[in-house]
Structure 1
Amino acid sequence: MGKETNTRQIILTLLKRNQEQTVSALATELGVTEMAVRRHLQGLEKDGFIESRIERQAMGRPTYKYSLTAKGDERFPRNYGDLSLSILKDLEQMSGNEMVDRLFEKRRDRLQEKYETEVKGSLSERVKALARIQNENGYMVDYKQLEDGSYEFIEYNCPISQVAKEYPVACNCEQQLFNKLLETANVERKSCIAKENTNCCVYRLKEQS
């Protein structure tokens, strides 16, 4: 299984470097049979990592050429965190810290407007909807109801932690967003990945008193 996974990754790397490749070219690069390459390509295409197109020849059979899809390209490292941080630092130098705060507040308001129609019902239903939204955005959420009726809301990943370590306003705006979406002022942050040596952000969510 490990060898097969490694071969698939090598194929993706070759397509990343060369943009388009034929079965024959990939087989030569890998030192395997064309049949073996086709098997890997079928799996990668089924998973949505690559796509193929037919290139017709003046003579003979048409040739299939394979290339990465956007999903396949995303498997390669990105440095979005560093880029975002650099942009924020440049903005801070040009316009001051207040402008950075306003940027995060604008993001908070935009996310509220985007999701407020999805988060409704009882507190239980709202917490469930919020967990789904955060999971879709990569936060790896778990939550449970406590004996007093409140909820412990845990995020095991923070996609913006690199930025939040430099700009705590990002965490404050997330807490405010939760308050607004859950329609309660009782959102208490117990721990934070960006601020502490911990593996998760933990919130305590209570019904509005």
Structure 2
Amino acid sequence: MPASVAGPAPMPHQPADRILSTLKTRGALGIPDIAKVLNVTVEAVRQQMAKLQAEGWVDAESRSSGRGRPTQIWRLTGEGHKRFPDTHAEMTVQMISAVISVFGEKGMDQLIAAREATMRANYAEAMRGARSLESRLARLAEIRNREGYMAEFRPDEQSPSDGFLFIENHCPICTAARACTGFCRSELQLFNEVLGPHVAVSRVEHVLAGARRCAYRVEPRANA
């Protein structure tokens, strides 16, 4: 199966932003690994990391790999994660609280359902002409990237049925989702619908459960 990958939405091409984007999308890495991803020298990355650490955007820990010196692994700090947009922050939480206060949980469910219906129509339109699972995942990644999710997909090496992992490296509605988990349930349901009846989608990593990202296993159904 071809290893087709839809890349995450780009950040500005400043050296610091490229490093932060790499750590956001790939998780904790050593300086040589970052240099390899960005196709720059180790020394160039080391200089940038010193600046980023001084500004509080990254930190490092030492990991022992057996013999030799421990390896330094770098990751984003909380402030580093804040460099990426959150389009639903305090005002969104206040609005959610107000809706629940005035209309109750049922009213909040209706609001989420209305949002889901709009998204379903938009996503279904984007899927027109995409017949294979791979092409539909590519379309979905494009849509979600425009919405700020830094989405990508790749073959799932642990899947026995030629499945994929659909990965979202950023959650622009994380604040809203923490206030109302119905948004997460709605989006999982939406993925199952727009990718088609012959596909099963399950969430295997979840930001709200403490993961770095949200990831979904996408597999053809056994009886399809």
TM-score, length of structure 2 as denominator length: 0.56
CA distance in 1 between partners of 2:185 and 2:86 (Å): 26
Is 1:117 matched with 2:131?
A: no
Larger-Rg structure? 1
Give the total of aligned pairs. Answer: 134
Task: Report matched runs for 1:52-131 at 5 Å.
Answer: 80-119=88-127, 120-131=130-141
Q: Are residues 133 and 79 of structure 1, via their aligned partners in 2, closer, same or farther at CA, if it must alter by over 3 Å?
A: closer
> Equivalent residue for 2:44?
none
Task: Report matched runs for 1:2-17 at 5 Å.
Answer: none
CA distance in 2 between partners of 1:122 and 1:191 (Å): 25
Residue 146 of structure 1, CA deviation? 2.4
Equivalent in 183, 207, 215 of residue 202 of structure 1: 215
> Equivalent residue for 1:167?
180
Deviations 1:68-124 (A, max 9, x none): xxxxxxxxx987411111011011011101111111111111011112021131111
Letter in 2 for 1:93: S
CA distance in 1 between partners of 2:174 and 2:86 (Å): 15
Q: Are residues 111 and 89 of structure 1, via their aligned partners in 2, closer, same or farther at CA, if it must alter by over 3 Å?
A: same
Letter in 2 for 1:89: S
More relative contact order in 1 or in 2 (CA 8 Å, sep 6+)? 2
Residue 207 of structure 1, CA deviation? 2.1
CA distance in 1 between partners of 2:156 and 2:187 (Å): 22
> Equivalent residue for 1:23?
none
Equivalent in 132, 139, 142 of residue 132 of structure 1: 142
CA distance in 2 between partners of 1:159 and 1:187 (Å): 21
SS at match of 1:144: strand
CA distance in 2 between partners of 1:138 and 1:168 (Å): 19
Deviations 1:146-194 (A, max 9, x none): 253111011010011111112111000000111111013511011111x
* Unaligned ranges ≥5, structure 1: 6-76
Give the percent of matched residue pairs that are identical in Structure 1 and Structure 2: 27
SS at match of 1:205: strand
CA distance in 2 between partners of 1:197 and 1:135 (Å): 22
Equivalent in 188, 191, 194 of residue 205 of structure 2: 191
CA distance in 1 between partners of 2:134 and 2:98 (Å): 42
SS at match of 1:116: helix
Q: Are residues 191 and 167 of structure 1, via their aligned partners in 2, closer, same or farther at CA, if it must alter by over 3 Å?
A: same
Letter in 2 for 1:207: P
Letter in 1 for 2:214: C
SS at match of 2:217: strand
Q: Are residues 80 and 117 of structure 1, via their aligned partners in 2, closer, same or farther at CA, if it must alter by over 3 Å?
A: closer
CA distance in 1 between partners of 2:195 and 2:139 (Å): 10
CA distance in 2 between partners of 1:114 and 1:79 (Å): 20
Q: Are residues 202 and 80 of structure 1, via their aligned partners in 2, closer, same or farther at CA, if it must alter by over 3 Å?
A: closer
